[in-house]
Each structure stands twice: as structure tokens, then as C-alpha cells.
Amino acid sequence: MSNAQFSDLSGLSAAFESLIARAVEGVVAVKAAPYRVSSGLAIGPDLVAVADHTLRRQERIPVHSADGQQGVATILGRDRSIDLAILKVENLSLEPLPSADAAALKAGSLAIVTGLTIDAGPSASLGIVGAAAGPRNTWRSGKLDLFLRLDVNLYPSQSGAAVVNAQGQLIGMATPGLLRHSAVAVPTVTLNRVAQELLQEGRIRHGYLGIGLQPIAIPDTLRAKLANVAASGLPAAGLMVLSVAPDSPAQNAGIQLGDILISLDQNYLGGIEELQSLLRGDLVGRSVSALLIRGGEPVQAQIVISQRGA
């Protein structure tokens, strides 16, 4: 075969090389553990997003940019529920990559993971967006504003790396820490939201009720009996209370074992995920209404939502 038959592939190769060279300008190498280097993603002139599970050092974390500059970082805050930590970097001036249009992301969209190591330089992995969906709760009760599963081979140094599209625009931060068998891109909208909350509040707030729950179907006979409790009738499922923590918001509100939680803040709860979505930071400290079924009868309660881990 003549070399001319491969000219198109050579052009494609050159395009990938150029794209990765641009993308790595928004990435840093982070020595977050004594014998391990991971990647970090610039989200501001002195702010870097990293995968929380990679952090072993707590202060004076060495950071290296693609052009050879060196700086040190401290942990500004972390949200383990979405495997994200934000670092504040000294002695480096960083420029974030332009963001992709989240609405345009679809399953099958090209996804290029670009990381950085101290000794070997840039690293790249080519794949696709395996799944793109709306908001999703993580197994740690965190919230991703978009769920972006990656079909890509992620190397250890690429935890925290940039995920870019075919135009070199930022999709999110790569992490293997949120799904058992796949990598996920923490989307840029989530990165920016968490960073903003950390800058304003100094921490990520998650609501806490202090109850253990199990989804349960509500019998049709009970739904018919209590049809007038809500304008649209009772939902087909609720959450049965299996445990109540001492001195918790739930105990203080009088919630008991065996109660069935139907709604919170006037939002029906068909499953645990709906409740997790409701327990967002802006509800912390607020008194919200709860509708329960106790002994076959409706019960109203007021719960003051507290800060988880406070």
C-alpha cells in the first residue's frame, strides 16, 4: 500500500495531537500522595479541581503546570459525595478551558481525557460519552447536575483529568470513584457550583434528617381511604421509617418507627433518590412540613433540617 492511502489518518492524528496540546494547558499534575501523581483541572486563575479520593496530603501539595511552572496548593474544601476537592494554588496563574454546551452532549459524543504527569508529560485517552442523562444522585448521596458516564480507558494519573469534546471544549473532570466499573465526568456545571459554594460558605452543605428509610408500596385500600389528604391523592409508594437517630431532626419532630414518610416540603417521595435530591444545602436550617402515615392515619410534622456531619 502507498503512503497516500494513509494521508487522511495522518491528518486525523495531527488534529488529535493539536487538540491535546491545547487541552493540557488547562490541566496540572498534582502530587497529592507521596508516591502518586494525579491530575487536576483548572477552574479559575488559582483554583484547581481534583478527584477527592486521590488526596493524601492535607497542605502544601505540589502542583506542576504543563509549561514547567511549579506551585503549592492547599485544600479549599472537599465534597466526598461527588469525589471532588477544590485546591487553592499559589505561585501559578492558570487559565481554565472553554466549556462545552452541556445540552449538546449525547451518548456517542467523542470524549478525550487529557491528564498530566510530572515526568512523562501529557497523557491522553480516547473514548466516547457512554451515557448522558439529567441530574443523578451518587451512591454517597451527592448530586451531579448531569450524569456523564465515560466509555474510556482511564489511567491512574488521569483521575482529575480534563474531559474534552471534539472541539477541545471542557465536558468535565474525569474520576473512577463514582461508578464501580466505569469512569464518570463530573460536569463543569457541578464543578462551578461546588467551587462557588465553597468560596461563599467554606463548606458543602448537605441536609440531615437522622432516619433510616425503606421504600414501601402503599396499598390501594389505604390510598382510597386517605384520598382527600392531598389534592392529587396519595402516591403509590412512600418511605417507611426503620430507625430514628437520638437527638436528630426526625426525633425532635416526633417521627416514630413504622411511620411512612409521604412528602417533604410538599414534594412526594417515591424513593430514596427523591429524598436525597430534596436534602440540598439551601434547606439546611429551615423548618419544612412532612406528611406521614401512622397507624393508617395522616400525620403532619414540622422538621428543622440540620447540617449533615455538623
Could you read off the pLDDT of 122-173 as tens digits, one per residue?
999 999 999 999 888 787 767 889 999 999 999 989 999 999 999 999 999 9
Asked if residue 178 and residue 58 are part of one domain, the reply reads yes
Rama region for 87: left / alpha / beta (φ>0; ψ in -120 to 50; rest): beta
Asked if residue 191 and residue 228 are part of one domain, the reply reads no
Domain boundary at 160, 183, 204, which? Answer: 204
Which range of residues forms the domain containing residue 260?
Answer: 207-307
Asked if residue 152 and residue 248 are part of one domain, the reply reads no
| pLDDT attached to residue 207 | 86
Buried b (16+ CB within 10 A) or exposed e, 204-215: bbbbbbbbebee
Among candidates 41, 97, 90, which has minimal Cα distance to 69?
A: 90
Domain boundary at 204, 236, 253, which? Answer: 204
Asked if residue 70 and residue 6 are part of one domain, the reply reads yes
Tens of pLDDT, residue by residue, the chain (310 residues)? 555 555 578 888 999 999 999 999 999 999 988 888 999 999 999 999 999 999 987 788 999 999 999 999 999 888 888 999 999 999 899 999 999 988 789 999 999 999 999 988 999 999 999 999 988 878 776 788 999 999 999 998 999 999 999 999 999 999 998 987 889 999 999 999 888 888 877 677 778 899 999 999 988 888 888 777 765 667 888 999 999 999 999 999 999 999 999 989 888 887 887 787 778 767 888 999 999 999 989 999 999 999 876 5
Number of domains the chain contains: 2
- List pLDDT tens digits, range 53-84: 999 877 889 999 999 999 999 998 888 889 99
Domain boundary at 204, 226, 244, which? Answer: 204
End-to-end CA distance of the chain: 69
| Residue found by looking up cell 449538546 in the block | 104
Q: What is the CATH number of the domain that holds 57?
A: 2.40.10.120
Predicted TM-score (pTM) of this structure: 0.76
Asked if residue 232 and residue 154 are part of one domain, the reply reads no
CB atoms within 10 A of CB 64: 20
Q: What is the CATH number of the domain that holds 236?
A: 2.30.42.10
Asked if residue 90 and residue 162 are part of one domain, the reply reads yes
The torsion defined by the Cα of 220, 225, 229 and 233, in degrees rounded to 10, comes to 30
Which set of grid coordinates corresponds to residue 298? Answer: 395522616
Asked if residue 267 and residue 183 are part of one domain, the reply reads no
Asked if residue 47 and residue 161 are part of one domain, the reply reads yes
**Residue 247: exposed, middle, or buried by beta-carbon count in 10 A (0-12, 13-18, 19+)?**
exposed
Asked if residue 170 and residue 32 are part of one domain, the reply reads yes
d(CA 117, CA 129) in angstroms, rounded, equals: 24
Asked if residue 185 and residue 48 are part of one domain, the reply reads yes
Asked if residue 87 and residue 165 are part of one domain, the reply reads yes
Which set of grid coordinates corresponds to residue 43? Answer: 477552574
Asked if residue 92 and residue 229 are part of one domain, the reply reads no
